[in-house]
Amino acid sequence: MVVGNLSLHGRLSLTVVKPDGSVRERREGDNVMCTGGLSVIAGALVWSGIQDQAANQGVTEPTYLTPLWGAVGSGAGTPAASDTLLFNELDRQIVGAGASSPATPSIAAAVTWLFYFPSPATTWTVTEAGVFANGTSDGSSTATSGTMMDHWAFSPSVSVPTTDTLILQATFSVSGV
């Protein structure tokens, strides 16, 4: 999605890890940035820039992306910018790590978040993933909470047996156009 002279691009990857630490399967691909997600990102940028002067400006409510959740699902369909939910969410986990890299004249700045999914109780067939901002802060993982930032569907599916774990990595890059 291009806004003015800025471009925000999302890319997700799923890695299924065996108990011995080796990789069983990996998928990576571009995702659809969702309209609601772009709005919360813009709000968080505004808050970041004015928070020290917010009271003087009459702004009383901060805007954050947290709590940030990664979700995986087993649904089918074509992701769209208007999406607010996965097609069929299996599970979601709160962000476990994050990092950023600065821009250079030839490389976009990027933020990366990691979400760790422990071994599922039953084997999963994963076909989609997404990241949700402003999910519930009470520690629960309510599937309908938060604002969907991005949505990714892929084929073939990824199988996650009950012995394995899954890592979802979300990378958003920001560049000038």
Tens digit of pLDDT for each residue in 62-102? Answer: 777 888 999 999 999 999 999 999 999 999 999 999 999 99
Phi/psi of residue 44, each to 5°? -65, -35
Q: What percent of the chain has pLDDT over 70?
A: 92
Which of 1-5, 53-57, 136-140 has the lowest average pLDDT?
Answer: 1-5
CA dist 86 and 106 (Å) reads 34
Chain length of the chain = 177
Concatenated DSSP letters of 101-148: E---SSS-EEEEEEEEEPPPSS-EEEEEEEEEES--SSS---TT-SEE
Q: Could you tell me the end-to-end alpha-carbon distance of the chain, in angstroms, rounded to an integer?
A: 11
Nearest CA among 9, 172, 146, 171 for reference residue 84: 146
What average pLDDT does the segment 2-10 reach?
A: 69
Between 82 and 7, the higher pLDDT residue = 82
pTM of the predicted protein model: 0.88
The band of 57, judged by pLDDT with boundaries at 50, 70 and 90, is: confident
pLDDT score recorded for residue 77: 96
